[in-house]
Structure 1
Amino acid sequence: MRPHFPSLPALAAFEIVYRRLSISEAAHELSLTQSAVSKQIKALELFFGQDLFERRARGLVATPAADLLAARLAPCLDQMEGLVREMHAVRQGGGVLKLAVVPTFATRWLMPRLRHLAQHHPNLVLNLSTQLDRFEFAGSGLDAGIIFGKPDWPNCDYSLIATENQVVVCSPDFLQRFGRPAERKDLSRFPLLHSASRPNAWSRWFETHGLPEPAGISGPRFDLFSMVAEAALAGLGIALLPEILIREELKQRTLVALFPVETYSEGAYYFIYPRHKAHMSGLQTFQTWLLAQASSQ
């Protein structure tokens, strides 16, 4: 049996009073009287057996006990708010999906399309996080993922979103300052931008084209493809990037392709999920929408 807990309305009132350090402002936000809010705070102080606020002439001052309670309470209230949204979504038939996505695909491909998802599936609650490394669904709380690589995950089903075509790019400003490499072999004379998630990408690129790898390839290294793209846009060097992630920049010519788009990547982007979650309405809705978006690109 769970121990006795303070009331949720009292905790909600405390959170606002702590944030504003004002009974009157909290009362206005809650559409209650100041007396009602004061009673909620007093009930909490009696429950915990200690003062939460010091009443001074210039206003309220939070005690160390209030600081502790506020720090622990805030994430609980956030979770409760999320639970309420999810319960409404389930009631309205939209469903809930907790999704992990590789970071740059999330920011450069998925995020620009989420407005369309919200417009066409307003009752679907999508909880999105990023995962750069391979993860386990068991114990993660995740329902599905968008990964790059091979779909060799045990007890999972998957759908192909897109293959990955690589393109060598730089900014127009970089071309003006350094000139355009006439041939692929000339790249060894230019600063090359590197992604820490694929440290051997340039080595494989030179090998694919039958070129010797330059000794001590120069250029900075970045954690994410999104950072590499921003570095290329800033004119820091030449980048080897997935074409699917920089289509808008290529269209606007803020990045310029130095050679034709090439297909040689070892992996692809997949939507993947545990088989036992295939029945989830939120997963089915998102998967149908996602694959339609991928096929229209």
Structure 2
Amino acid sequence: MRRRIPSNSMLIAFEAAARHGSFKEAASELLLTESAVSRQIARLETFLETKLFERKGNRVRLLPVGTKYAQEVGDSLARLERDSQRLMGQSPGTVDLEIGVLPTFATRWLIPRLGMFQNTFPHIRVNLAQRLDPFNLPASGFDAAIHFHDPAWAGLVIHPLLHEVLIPVCNPSLLSGTRTPPPLDDLPRVHRRQNAEAWQIYAQETAQHLQNPLAGVRFDLHGMAIEAAMAGLGVALVPRTYVERDLAEGRLVTCWPPGQSVSKTFCAITTEPLDECQPALRSFVLWLLDQAAATEDQP
């Protein structure tokens, strides 16, 4: 039976136009004319028998049905590109794993340890892609995810790795000339935008006085907050797991008590139990569990 799928040229033009919100910018990215992009999208709308864009003169606006379709098409194209690149670069006997992972967890915890995994399993190549939010793992093309525990993973297999315990850290220069530990209320503070109440909860747990717990600069990622702390912009409340090396090497210091509650739990997520996973993925997840246990055992 012949598949009823739009042509690649239609989908690529649509995805670019939806991402940019402009036929002109999509044409520039794809090295096409604006009219060529417009024709491809018109053909796609005819094929689907559905309008994806609202056109007003030279301006276009993605309709709600187009917004949802754009997300699905973008995910499918990214998966196809990822699978193609994996085959093009694959060496004989090498097994590739595609892992969707939280970006700061990848850069601060996982990547510094990956060399050990590769030394033990030289035939397994681990490819990482950042995912800030939970996603549909079975339909994503990823072999596994490393993310926070979340109800969105219902029906999948959860392998708890590490607990997120927050600690205040800052550049040592921020404490020069102050008594130890200085009151947090006397220092500028750094916030992670997605966890706006973290300082308020921390102050209640540790009996720290903060006149305005929400005062301070805000960043989207823990990685940004850590860099801000190292740059001397203030005290950041971040997972200890992310800053162990910086504390050990003196780039950051902490002289306040750690948070008392576990904010979130980092997990590996697979679609099947470990004994049913492919051998390469099973080896990787078991290695993750061992590394996480060693991290939790550190003082």
Q: Shared fold (TM-score greater than 0.5)?
A: yes
Residue 261 of structure 1: which of 258, 261, 278 is its match? Answer: 258
Structure 1, residues 23-76: CA drift from partner, whole Å, max 9, x if none? xxxxxxxxxxxxxxxxxxxxxxxxxxxxxxxxxxxxxxxxx9x956xxxxxx98
Distance 1:81 1:142, change over 3 A: closer
From the CA coordinates, give the structure whose radius of gyration is larger.
1
Q: Which residue pairs with 1:189 in the alignment?
A: 186
Aligned positions of 1:55-134 closer than 5 A:
80-86=84-90, 88=91, 92=93, 95-134=95-134
SS at match of 1:256: coil
Q: Measure how far apart 1:295 and its partner are.
A: 2.2
CA contact (8 A) 1:95 1:280 kept: no
CA contact (8 A) 1:172 1:256 kept: yes
Distance 1:132 1:244, change over 3 A: same
Q: Measure how far apart 1:107 and its partner are.
A: 0.3
Q: Measure how far apart 1:262 and its partner are.
A: 3.6
Q: How many Å separate the matches in 1 of 2:85 and 2:131?
A: 24
Q: Measure how far apart 1:207 and its partner are.
A: 2.1
Q: Measure how far apart 1:191 and its partner are.
A: 0.9
Aligned positions of 1:223-242 closer than 5 A:
223-242=220-239
Structure 1, residues 90-141: CA drift from partner, whole Å, max 9, x if none? xx3x533211111111000001111112222121132211111122214221
Distance 1:78 1:166, change over 3 A: closer
Aligned positions of 1:236-255 closer than 5 A:
236-255=233-252
Q: Measure how far apart 1:78 and its partner are.
A: 7.5
Q: Measure how far apart 1:225 and its partner are.
A: 0.7
SS at match of 2:232: coil
Distance 1:204 1:85, change over 3 A: same
Instruction: Specify the code of the residue in structure 2 equivalent to 1:112.
Output: P
Distance 1:205 1:117, change over 3 A: same
Percent identity reads 31
Q: Which residue pairs with 1:23 in the alignment?
A: none
Q: Which residue pairs with 1:206 in the alignment?
A: 203
CA contact (8 A) 2:206 2:259 kept: no
SS at match of 1:294: helix
SS at match of 2:292: helix
Q: How many Å separate the matches in 2 of 1:180 and 1:283?
A: 50
Q: How many Å separate the matches in 1 of 2:216 and 2:164?
A: 23
Task: For CA contacts below 8 A with separation 6 or more, give which structure has more relative contact order.
Answer: 1
The unaligned stretches of length 5 or more in structure 2 are: 4-27, 33-77
TM-score (ref. length: structure 2): 0.65
Q: Measure how far apart 1:152 and its partner are.
A: 6.5
Q: Which residue pairs with 2:60 in the alignment?
A: none
Q: Which residue pairs with 1:24 in the alignment?
A: none
Q: Which residue pairs with 2:174 in the alignment?
A: 174
Distance 1:191 1:123, change over 3 A: same
SS at match of 1:246: helix
Q: How many Å separate the matches in 1 of 2:174 and 2:269?
A: 39
